């Protein structure tokens, strides 16, 4: 049942490195791209929430997406969003400009489709309208972004997307394996891929037929997620052990992310700065943050060696 196409596997939600002056650091971004690809990821999700898209201008969003495409040409496919506006006319403009960069799929943000108080029927009407107004031979997708509020997709929306022939990618943040299984059943036989963003339900979702992983923890140890997505069926016992570690490690998401990930990338030598636009570093002391992240990574390496996942990685 698993979809074996370009949308399978691990799709990191990309960070955007900034200089201490708040400008995009293109040199650091190129190093980050190379780091992801060296880990074996299947593709990249650019211009998303982890990229701080709500804090980028439209010009920056397009430039960021074009840069990622330029640096990944011939290596991995790219999807991108930047769908942040409220007014439909601005949304259409944003989606067209991202589509014109040449990405494989343009990703809509579910909470931009209707106000929080609106019904699922309104969301479906909006998706149908936007789809009609953004024609082309590129794919479309939807991301259940939790900011500024989380709008989960109804079964009717997932079914419509699967049957439309245009939708290739849902970044699923429901964190509920029963909902994921329903969505997989609705998408079966179509070109719609379900990429789980939630580590706690990831292994169960892969076993149910999910295409892969697209979450923030691929900014810390993508190679472990690559192994899990590629080998969970062939080596189920090792997958169980690794998934238990990854589930525990993913709690770091709640500690000053994305600054925690940017600090980690800085200490790897990929980023020159841990600066972010979304917020300043929180109350968690940097020395403690270093210790927590470093120990999380070291334990992951121990677990990987202990079950031999490094040697059998695809």
Of 248, 250, 245, 259, nearest to 289 by C-alpha is 259
CB 288 within 8 A of CB 256: no
| 149 among known catalytic residues | no
Catalytic hit among 36, 143, 225, 257: 143
Q: What are phi and psi of 185, to 5 degrees?
A: -65, -40
Of 91, 69, 93, nearest to 80 by C-alpha is 69
| 143 among known catalytic residues | yes
Task: Specify the long-range contacts of residues 299-302, CB closer than 8 Å, at least 24 apart.
Answer: 299/245, 299/249, 300/221, 300/224, 300/245, 300/246, 300/249
- Non-local (6+) Cβ contacts of 197 within 8 A are 13, 144, 171, 172, 173, 213, 214, 215, 216
Catalytic hit among 159, 171, 238, 262: 171
- Non-local (6+) Cβ contacts of 206 within 8 A are 2, 196, 212, 228, 229, 232, 233
Q: Which residues are catalytic?
A: 143, 171
């Amino acid at each position: 049942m698993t979809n074996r196409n370009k949308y399978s596997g691990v799709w990191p939600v990309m960070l955007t490195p900034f200089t201490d002056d708040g400008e995009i650091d293109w040199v650091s971004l190129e190093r980050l791209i190379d780091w992801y690809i060296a880990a074996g990821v299947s593709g990249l999700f650019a211009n998303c929430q982890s990229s701080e898209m709500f804090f980028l201008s439209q010009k920056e969003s397009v430039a960021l997406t074009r840069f990622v495409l330029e640096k990944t040409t011939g290596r991995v496919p790219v999807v991108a969003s930047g769908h942040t506006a409220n007014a439909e006319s601005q949304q259409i403009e944003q989606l067209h400009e991202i589509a014109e960069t040449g990405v494989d799929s343009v990703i809509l943000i579910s909470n931009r489709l209707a106000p929080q108080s609106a019904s699922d029927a309104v969301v479906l009407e909006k998706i149908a309208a936007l789809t009609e107004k953004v024609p082309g031979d590129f794919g479309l997708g939807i991301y259940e972004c939790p900011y500024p509020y989380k709008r989960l997709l109804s079964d009717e929306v997932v079914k419509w997307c699967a049957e439309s022939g245009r939708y290739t990618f849902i970044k699923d943040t429901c964190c509920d394996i029963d909902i994921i299984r329903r969505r997989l059943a609705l998408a079966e036989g179509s070109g719609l891929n379900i990429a789980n963003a939630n580590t706690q339900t990831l292994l169960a979702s892969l076993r149910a037929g999910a295409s892969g992983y697209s979450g923030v923890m691929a900014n810390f140890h993508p190679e472990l997620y690559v192994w899990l997505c590629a080998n969970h069926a062939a080596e189920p016992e090792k997958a169980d052990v690794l998934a238990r570690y990854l589930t525990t490690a993913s709690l770091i998401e709640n500690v000053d992310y994305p600054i925690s990930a940017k600090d980690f990338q800085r200490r790897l030598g990929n980023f020159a700065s841990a600066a972010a636009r979304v917020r300043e570093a929180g109350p968690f002391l940097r020395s403690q943050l270093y210790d927590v992240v470093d120990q999380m990574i070291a334990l992951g390496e121990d677990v990987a060696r202990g079950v031999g996942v490094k040697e059998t990685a695809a």
